[in-house]
Amino acid sequence: MSLTFLGEPLRSANGWRIAFVLATVLALHACGIYEVATGLSTLKPESATQTTLAVSLITPPPPPPPAAVPTAPAAPPRPRSTQAPTLPGPAVAPAPAPEPEPEPPAPTPPVEEPAPPPVPPTPPVEEPPLPAAVNAVPTTGRIAYRTTYSRMGGIRAMTFVDWNVDTARGRYELWLRTVDPSGLLDLRSTGTLQPFGIAPERYVERIEIANREQRAEFDWKTRIVSFAGRSPDPPAGFLEGVQDPLSLQFHMPLLAQAYPWRFTEGSELSFQVARRDIETYVFKVVGYEAVRISNTDVRALKIQRARGPKASRGVEMWLAPEYQWLPVRLRFVDQNSEVWDSVLAVLPGAELPREPIQQEIVKP
């Protein structure tokens, strides 16, 4: 039997050689295949380079309770874990989220008892408003004048003026009378003190030796003044600031202390004055003159209302700024041209002349 290789017959020796080579090649391939299969079965994957973090959500704090119900402070949030993450195993599940801590029970609000009804405050007692200059005037006092009256042959008399001021009630009282001889002149004025000055309510003028009396009643609610006496005028309306002949002598110093710029030379001051009727007194500031008092010349400001067609009575006043604008001289000329002239007897602080007869005491 002969073998052929590639179409050619093979000899027996060469055939064995070829068979040996083929067997060797097959053996080498089998070993290689075995090594590859063994390597594949033992091959393990390298360590993973990507890591997975286990993240858990932080439970947000509970909403704040109502303002009226106090609650315990909310628990602070848990800090994030600083431990390094570990590789996840094949069956490891993500960690469950922590449960929020239970809130403490809210305290029961106290039951509010009804408040007692408010007690109305006691209204403060309001003191009546007073002119600023009143605080500088003594509440009681007396001044004396030496008076001459031309109608009775130039008779000389003493005139005393007393005043009383009740600041708590806001009232005043003035009393002027001549003595030695007595009964020559007696004037009284009572009323209230207002921010604008003196507000008379009643004026009485008596001349006993002539058996004559005049009265004026002021109604400040209706602003009407009524007159009584010899040939009185009918009631008449008046304005704020109205005066009577006596109150004018003390209202003027209050104005001079409060408004000194109104008493400059050449200026004019206007007032309503009620006696037996209402007249408008317009005073002109003349200037400063010296008035002799107890051998002392006192500087005084003269203001004058001259007689004329619309002025039945002339009035002159000398006010001394050194003595709180006190009238140190007064001069009146009536409709019959009779003159009353009064000059301060002694300066304030000096001893007053004694009265020749006992007089009534001014009541508060």
- pLDDT of res. 353: 80
- pLDDT of res. 51: 46
Tokens found for residue 14:
């060469």
Give the mean pLDDT of 121-149: 72
Least confident of 15-19, 273-277, 313-317, 356-360: 356-360
The bridge status of strand 268-274 relative to strand 186-194 is unpaired
- pLDDT of res. 153: 72
Question: Could you tell me what percent of the chain has a pLDDT over 90?
Answer: 40
Q: Higher pLDDT residue, 25 or 221? A: 221
Q: Does the pLDDT at position 311 exceed 80?
A: yes
Q: Does the pLDDT at position 161 exceed 90?
A: yes
Q: Does the pLDDT at position 284 exceed 60?
A: yes
- pLDDT of res. 343: 96
pLDDT tens figures, 312-342? 889 999 999 999 999 999 999 988 888 999 9
Q: Does the pLDDT at position 276 exceed 80?
A: yes
Least confident of 63-72, 238-247, 265-274: 63-72
Q: Higher pLDDT residue, 20 or 1? A: 20
Give the mean pLDDT of 264-281: 93
Give the mean pLDDT of 198-224: 93
pLDDT tens figures, 20-77? 666 666 666 655 555 545 554 554 444 444 444 444 445 555 666 555 544 555 555 5
Measured from the Cβ of residue 136, the count of other Cβ atoms closer than 10 Å reads: 9
The answer to whether the predicted template modeling score (pTM) of the entire model surpasses 0.75 is no
Residue 97 burial by CB count (10 A; 0-12/13-18/19+): exposed, middle or buried? exposed
- pLDDT of res. 99: 62
- pLDDT of res. 129: 60
- pLDDT of res. 362: 43
Least confident of 9-23, 105-119, 290-304: 9-23
Q: Higher pLDDT residue, 118 or 223? A: 223
Q: Does the pLDDT at position 186 exceed 90?
A: yes
Contact in structure between 15 and 1 (CB atoms under 8 Å): no
- Domains in the chain, ordered, with CATH? 132-344 (2.50.20)
Tokens found for residue 144:
């004396």
- pLDDT of res. 3: 47
- pLDDT of res. 319: 97
Q: Does the pLDDT at position 304 exceed 90?
A: yes
Nearest to 331 by CA among 321, 319, 322, 340: 340
CA 193 centroid distance within chain? 26
Question: Could you tell me what percent of the chain has a pLDDT over 70?
Answer: 59
Instruction: Name residue 163's beta-bridge partners.
Output: 141, 174
Give the mean pLDDT of 122-142: 66
- pLDDT of res. 119: 62
- pLDDT of res. 198: 94
Contacts of 283 (CB under 8 A, 6+ apart): 268, 269, 270, 271, 303, 304, 305, 315, 317
Residue 237 burial by CB count (10 A; 0-12/13-18/19+): exposed, middle or buried? exposed
Measured from the Cβ of residue 147, the count of other Cβ atoms closer than 10 Å reads: 21
